[in-house]
C-alpha cells in the first residue's frame, strides 16, 4: 500500500497565542476515506489547511507521496497542490463564472499561468468536465452561472473541480456544514463514490459523528488540538465520542437547517 500522506509533530500556534494543534501525527494510506471529527475549535480546519499550506504550521512536517512539503519552493508547492484537491464548506466557486469554467479551474495547476488566464483548456479537459458534471447530476446546468445553483449543487461543482485535478488526495473541510440533510447525503455520497472508484484518498472534516461512521474507513478524533482517537468506526465507542465532545455534546449531531 502506498503512503499518501505522513504528518509528523504538527504544531500550529496562531499569532495571539492560541495553540490550535499540539503535535499531530497522522498517516494516510492509498484509498483510505478518513473522517476527522471533533467539536468546534478542536483544530480540524487548522489541521487540513496546514496539510496543503493554506496555513503555515509552526512546527512539524507534512510528507506527500514521500516528499516533505516545504513552502519555500513555490514551484514544488504548486506541484503538490495540483495533486491535492480541496473541498470547502462555502464551496469557493467563482460566482460569475459558469459551472463548466469552475470545474475546469481544477486543471489550472497543470497549465502555464498564461494559458490559465486565457482559459485555454484542452478539448479533452472540457469533455472530461462535462462528463463529470453529468455524472454528478448537473448535466443540464453546465452553462449556468455558479451563483444560480443551490448550495448542494454548488458543492457538487466543488467536488467536480477537485476531481478534475486528478488528485491523489482530497481534503474536504466541513463539506456539508451549510447543507440540509438531503443535500448533505447527496454530497457525501458524491465525494465517497468518486474517491472510492478512483482510488483517491480522502480526509474529511465532519461535525456529525453518525455521518463519519456511515462513510469512513477510519476515524480520527481531535480534541483541544490533540489527536485523541484513531481507529475504525467500530472501535469508536459511545464513551469515546462523549469524551471527544465533552461540554459540546450538542455539536455531535449538529446539522444545518437549510441551504
Ligand X SMILES: Nc1ncnc2c1ncn2[C@@H]1O[C@H](COP(=O)(O)OP(=O)(O)OP(=O)(O)O)[C@@H](O)[C@H]1O
**Span from 2-10, 13-21, 70-78, 213-221 in contact with ligand X (CB under 6 A):** 13-21
- C-alpha span between 255 and 86 (Å, rounded): 22
**Nearest distance, CB of residue 38 and ligand X, angstroms:** 5
Q: Using the minimum distance from each CB to ligand X, give the nearer residue, 40 or 70.
A: 40
**Span from 10-18, 72-80, 95-103, 121-129 in contact with ligand X (CB under 6 A):** 10-18
Half-sphere exposure in the Cβ direction for 147 (13 Å, CA): 4
Judged by CB under 6 A, the residue of 18, 73, 127, 237 near ligand X is: 18
Q: Using the minimum distance from each CB to ligand X, give the nearer residue, 162 or 244.
A: 244
Is the four-CA dihedral 27, 33, 39, 44 of positive or negative sign? positive
Q: Is 43 in the site for ligand X (CB under 6 A)?
A: yes
Q: Using the minimum distance from each CB to ligand X, give the nearer residue, 37 or 169.
A: 37
Q: Is 209 in the site for ligand X (CB under 6 A)?
A: no
Query: What sections of 93-122 are H helices per DSSP?
Result: 99-104, 113-117
Q: Is 57 in the site for ligand X (CB under 6 A)?
A: no
Q: Is 258 in the site for ligand X (CB under 6 A)?
A: no
- The separation between CA 222 and the C-alpha centre of its own chain, rounded to angstroms, equals 16
DSSP per-residue codes, 126-192:
HHHHHHHHHHTT-TT-TTSBGGGS-HHHHHHHHHHHHHHT--SEEEEESTTTTS-HHHHHHHHHHHH
Q: Is 16 in the site for ligand X (CB under 6 A)?
A: yes
**Nearest distance, CB of residue 55 and ligand X, angstroms:** 8
- C-alpha span between 199 and 75 (Å, rounded): 26
Specify whether the CB–CB gap between 218 and 232 falls below 8 A. yes
Judged by CB under 6 A, the residue of 40, 70, 71, 127 near ligand X is: 40
- Contacts with ligand X by CB under 6 A lie at 14, 16, 18, 20, 38, 40-46
Amino acid at each position: 500500500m502506498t503512503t499518501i500522506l505522513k504528518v509528523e509533530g504538527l504544531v500550529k500556534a496562531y499569532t495571539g497565542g492560541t495553540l490550535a494543534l499540539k503535535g499531530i501525527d497522522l498517516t494516510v494510506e492509498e484509498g483510505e476515506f478518513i473522517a476527522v471529527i471533533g467539536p468546534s475549535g478542536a483544530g480540524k480546519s487548522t489541521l487540513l489547511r496546514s496539510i496543503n499550506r493554506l496555513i503555515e504550521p509552526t512546527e512539524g512536517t507534512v510528507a506527500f507521496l514521500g516528499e516533505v512539503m516545504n513552502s519555500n519552493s513555490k514551484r514544488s508547492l504548486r506541484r503538490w497542490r495540483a495533486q491535492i484537491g480541496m473541498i470547502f464548506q462555502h464551496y469557493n466557486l467563482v460566482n460569475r463564472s459558469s459551472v463548466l469554467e469552475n470545474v475546469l479551474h481544477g486543471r489550472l495547476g497543470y497549465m502555464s499561468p498564461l494559458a490559465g488566464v486565457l482559459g485555454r483548456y484542452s478539448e479533452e479537459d472540457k469533455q472530461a468536465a462535462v462528463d463529470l458534471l453529468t455524472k454528478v447530476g448537473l448535466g443540464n446546468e453546465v452553462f449556468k452561472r455558479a451563483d444560480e445553483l443551490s448550495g448542494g449543487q454548488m458543492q457538487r461543482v466543488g467536488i467536480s473541480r477537485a476531481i478534475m485535478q486528478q488528485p491523489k488526495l482530497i481534503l474536504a473541510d466541513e463539506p456539508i456544514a451549510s447543507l440540509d440533510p438531503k443535500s448533505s447525503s447527496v454530497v457525501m455520497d458524491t465525494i465517497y463514490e468518486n474517491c472510492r472508484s478512483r482510488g483517491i484518498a480522502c480526509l474529511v472534516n465532519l461535525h456529525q459523528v453518525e455521518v463519519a461512521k456511515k462513510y469512513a474507513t477510519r476515524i480520527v478524533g481531535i480534541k483541544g488540538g490533540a489527536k485523541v482517537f484513531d481507529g475504525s468506526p467500530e472501535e469508536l465507542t459511545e464513551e469515546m465520542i462523549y469524551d471527544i465532545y465533552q461540554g459540546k455534546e450538542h455539536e455531535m449531531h449538529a446539522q444545518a437547517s437549510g441551504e
